[in-house]
Chain A
Amino acid sequence: MGRVNPAAGRVGAMDDLTREFLIESQEGLDRMERCLTELEDKPQDKELLAEIFRSVHTIKGTTGFLAYKRLEKLAHAGENLLGLLRDGKMTANAEVITALLRLLDGLRELLKTIEAEGNEGNGDDSVLIGRIEELLAPAQSAKAKSAAAAPRAREATAVRAAAPAAEAEPAAAEPAHAPAAHSIAVAVQAPEPQEAVAEAAALTPAEATKARAQGGTAESTLRVDVALLNRMMNLVGELVLTRNQVLQATAADPNMTLLSRRLDMVTADLRESVMKARMQPVSNVFSKMPRLVRDLTHSLGRRARLIMEGQETELDKSLLEAIKDPLTHAVRNSLDHGIETPAVREAAGKDPEGTLRLRAAQEGSHVVIEISDDGAGIAPEKIRNKAIERGLLTPDRAAQLSERDLLQMIFLPGFSTAAQVTNVSGRGVGMDVVRTNVEKIGGKVEVDSRVGKGTTLRMRIPLTLAIIPALIVRSISQSFALPQGALSELVHIPPERAATAVEWMEGAPLYRLRGRLLPLVFLDQLLMPGRACKLSTERDNFIAVLDADGRRFGLIVDSLADPEEIVVKPLSVVLKDIGLFSGATVLGNADLALILDPGSIAVKTGVTMRSEEDAAQAVEDDSEAEAARMRYLLVEVAGRQAAVPLSDVLRIEQIPFSRIEYIGYRPVLNFEGQLLPVEDSGGILAAAQGNPETEIVVVVCRDGNRHVGIAVSHVLDVTSGANLFEAGTGARTEGVTLLNERVTSVINLGGVPPLPAMETAPEGWQQAAEVSA
């Protein structure tokens, strides 16, 4: 950890040994917590008990060495109890597990105090220890056992150095509190069997075999300071810029093409690797849930089984931190409002034990996290009545809304359908906090529920925050980056319409967007107060329609540049205080651009949260989006009409033929730094061969995780298509649709063969160089 980051300065004051001890102990305790909740279901599981014992034992051994008396006493009491459990002299019933969880909390508290103050403080643990001794009392015969603990402690100190090997399980690589929060465990393929054996030697033979087995398969991990990773990310960003400049400078030199292509590839790979290094499995957050569920079910008198899926799904560390609270809220809600009491469930003919399912999965550039329960579900009627009662909806409006749209109202501030406020939830702050937190990191949340069957909450989280897609806009002769996440659409106002496009209501500029009034903000006037709010009648004007945390408005900019993936750089405090910019970035052309913060702009200009009307508008937009799923882009390919699902279309590029390159015989296009295969079923590229100036239209589409280009003659229209059903069988026909009353074939994007892998196509690359030469 070469660079000491400011937040770690406090920790930096403490010696390395203590810091290491804190991080290891936190991890040990996290593991212990997981095992304890599991133990409840399998009280006889020897391996679990051994694992828990190991965690406490390691802490105890080290505390003796570092002279933390309180910690040692507490750990010692726990070790005694665990020793009995491990040796089968006691069974781990709910009472014992509760006591052990309390002990865990006590140990955590102490570690926190040590971290913050450098000493254990002078609290009293006698209650905790007394409780454990009470449990021990029936098994007094264990006295001799505890006497044997002293030599064992000495062993443990000798073993301490080997402890990292024991922490090596990837699932356990968990930064718990501040010291660990500044480091990320990076998986390195280097098992350390020797140390694992050394660790195992201090344990009973049964444990030893297990530990050895773990050491053999476990990946070794390395702690890396997050500041260092951020620095690496910065440098990679720098490299990307330099690459862009090299590519531009060498474009004309055929000898350099191959070299710069390689530079391009290596840079892209490097960027991906560094981003990956910041990724952590969601199990880091999920693992907190079993304890939460246990505590809540006990206090609420519910019975619930927790099922977790997709724990290995990875997410950027900072995002993982950010979803911790919303996830906790959602789980609380499910247990409090979702899953019914066992009696009610039995009366309804359900299993008295409810099921709470947490599922994480990656979908493209997002991670989807679902929290579903098989509880009572949310009755749309209840929401409708509540919304009317709270004045959030008029009865007329409420009658028009569909059930799905009504459900989304639970995310409005101050909305709770709980009949009674409990200490767990029901104060109406839960769901809107969930939404705000998720939207803050560029995610989306929606709810799905069926009465009597259960509720599913779905969060879509972007994979990373450090690099975000943004639209570059220009105003006052400067470039600004507008995060795509907040951008819902762009409206183009040509000079001839400029004079009439904006309507004024007592000084407030408004735009009629599909019959509704959209508040407008003039970016130039916002940035340079005193400028007149006026659209230019000499050039084009653009309105970026933004939706920031439910605040909807149009931002008027002078012109649009290309969308770019930007690397977000922090701004100094004094510039953050301006309250319009969330950061800065370096653009591909090496210009600097400030990143606009749509939320702050909305607040600053007085755009309020959407009222009922706007909410209804958003609902309409949603249904429009649904309709778009069945809309197609109609194109002409060599005289025939064909269709591409509009939802798959990313962009329509008009490019000179010279930009098409070849890998072997396969035409490819370098699109925003990615190579994409270009499908040329119509022979359009072949026809353009030898004429580099010919303009080619390429429709860039999304096909699962990859992008493909389709070369077309013209883009005709966007229309809605209906599915066709085969006469007689009624089976849906794939690949054709009815567009403008004509049966039109739908281009099969999946049918475009993937590009050959790098290793297998060196000749292809050579050829690519020659062609572009």
Chain B
Amino acid sequence: MSSSASALQRKQKNEAVVEVCSVRLGKTLFGVPIQHILEIIGSARPQPIPLAPGFVGGLVHYRGDVLTTVRLRYLLDLPPLEGPQDILVLESAGGCFGLLVDSVGEVLTVPAAAYEPNPSILDERRRGLLAGAYKLKDSLLVMLDPERLDPARLDPARPGAARAA
């Protein structure tokens, strides 16, 4: 690749922006690229499933389909939250699923250049779940990747690690 082309690319990258839906979980601000979000279901109470792995938050009814939900709190070792939570309906390669979060915030427009991949000191499990972060003015926006949170890919025994094929 010639140097002028890469310079051009860098310039474009500097100007490019990403739209991210912000999600609050405990004290941390997380983000999901809006193109992965199909819908937001507010204050839902998923139907619990007996004997399901811990990260499964139950079933919700979404437009004629029954979706499995994933408890982000469980995956990140946060204590469970009482009461209704918001659900992001996400689309991954394997289909749709719901992600249970404390609350859904506004859509932020962040410059693509503000992105940094997962730091090396992050523990292995979180490295498997998180997808880097955007540097905001006074905080970090930790990115979530629907592909990594798809219940079909989470290992019931070791959430965070990819499910053994």
CA of A278 to CA of B151 in the docked complex: distance in angstroms?
Answer: 30
Q: Kindly identify which residue among A237, A574, A580, A592 contacts B47, using a CB–CB cutoff of 8 Å.
A: A592
Q: Does B122 contact A (CB under 8 A)?
A: no
Q: Does B121 contact A (CB under 8 A)?
A: no
**Contact (A238, B63) CB under 8 Å given A572-B68, A574-B152:** yes
Q: Does B52 contact A (CB under 8 A)?
A: yes
Contacts of A590 in B (CB 8 A): 61
Q: Is the CB of A575 within 8 A of B61?
A: no
Q: Does B106 contact A (CB under 8 A)?
A: no
Q: Does A150 contact B (CB under 8 A)?
A: no
CA of A234 to CA of B65 in the docked complex: distance in angstroms?
Answer: 7
Q: Is the CB of B53 within 8 A of A478?
A: no
Which of the four size classes fits the interface of chain A? Answer: 20 to 34
Among B152, B154, B156, the one with the most A-chain Cβ atoms within 10 Å of its Cβ is B152
Q: Is the CB of B59 within 8 A of A592?
A: yes
Q: Does A577 contact B (CB under 8 A)?
A: yes
A579-626 contacts to B (CB < 8 Å): 580-581, 584-586, 590-594
Q: Is the CB of A528 within 8 A of B66?
A: no
Number of interface residues of B (CB under 8 A): 22
Q: Does B51 contact A (CB under 8 A)?
A: yes
Q: Is the CB of B51 within 8 A of A574?
A: no
A232 to B: closest C-beta gap in Å: 10
Closest to B96 in A: A572
Q: Is the CB of A591 within 8 A of B95?
A: no
Q: Does A569 contact B (CB under 8 A)?
A: yes
Q: Does B48 contact A (CB under 8 A)?
A: yes
CA of A231 to CA of B96 in the docked complex: distance in angstroms?
Answer: 14
CA of A598 to CA of B63 in the docked complex: distance in angstroms?
Answer: 28
Q: Is the CB of A575 within 8 A of B56?
A: yes
Q: Does A476 contact B (CB under 8 A)?
A: yes
Contacts of A585 in B (CB 8 A): 66
CA of A594 to CA of B56 in the docked complex: distance in angstroms?
Answer: 14
Q: Is the CB of A574 within 8 A of B66?
A: no
Q: Is the CB of A527 within 8 A of B64?
A: no
Q: Does B97 contact A (CB under 8 A)?
A: yes
Q: Does A17 contact B (CB under 8 A)?
A: no
5 cross-chain pairs, A with B, having the tightest CB-CB distances, nearest first? A234-B64, A527-B50, A238-B64, A592-B47, A572-B68
A-B contact pairs, 29 of them (CB 8 A): A231-B64, A235-B63, A235-B64, A238-B63, A238-B64, A476-B50, A478-B47, A478-B48, A527-B51, A570-B66, A571-B68, A572-B68, A572-B151, A572-B152, A573-B151, A573-B152, A574-B53, A574-B151, A574-B156, A575-B68, A577-B156, A578-B49, A578-B52, A584-B59, A586-B61, A586-B66, A592-B47, A592-B59, A592-B66
Given contacts A478-B48, A572-B152, A578-B51, 18 further A-B contacts (CB under 8 A): A234-B64, A234-B65, A476-B50, A527-B50, A527-B51, A570-B66, A571-B68, A574-B52, A574-B53, A574-B68, A574-B151, A574-B154, A575-B52, A575-B56, A584-B59, A585-B66, A592-B60, A594-B59
Q: Which chain B residues have a beta carbon within 8 Å of chain A's beta carbons?
A: 47-53, 56, 59-61, 63-66, 68, 95, 97, 151-152, 154, 156
